A = this chain, B = another copy of it.
Amino acid sequence: VSLQRMQIGEVAERTGLSLRTIRYYEEVGLVRPSARTPGGFRLYTEPDVARLNLVKRMKPLDFSLEEMRDLLASLDALEAVDETGQDRDAQLQRLAMFRAVADERCRALREQLETAEEFATSLRREISRQRRLAGRPR
């Protein structure tokens, strides 16, 4: 099965993304299928799936789809070996910026988690307080 090209349903299953999401990612130029059947069905290769999984792993960082597109573009550019030194430097600079943003987002996430846990704790406390009050009505 699907040794070479898979269609969107299988890709969805393997990535955990919805059909709509996968199509939308193509619409905004984030991940495009490397081929189509004559009838118009999208055909994905393994690298395509890998790219989708990469996007999925980026999502917790809360990048916009546009940012992810740019990040992927930089990675692609660096992967293409036939690049002039100047361009490489530019792409490396962009990567470094993304790294900085990513670090910042991680920090924000840690804070968020802390706030969330504090709230969960205070909710638990409120519940047991109310339970005590409920213990003796009248």
Task: Mark A residues whose CB is within 8 Å of B.
Answer: 57-58, 60-61, 75, 78, 85, 88-89, 92, 95-96, 98-99, 102-103, 105-106, 109-110, 112-113, 115-120, 123-124, 126-127, 130-131, 134, 137
Contacts and interface: CB of A to CB of B under 8 A. Distances in A.
- Stoichiometry, as copies per complex, reads 2
Contact of A115 (B60, B96, B123, B137): B60
A112 B110 CA distance: 10
Contact of A75 (B109, B116, B126): B126
A61 B120 contact: yes
B57 A115 contact: yes
A112 B78 contact: no
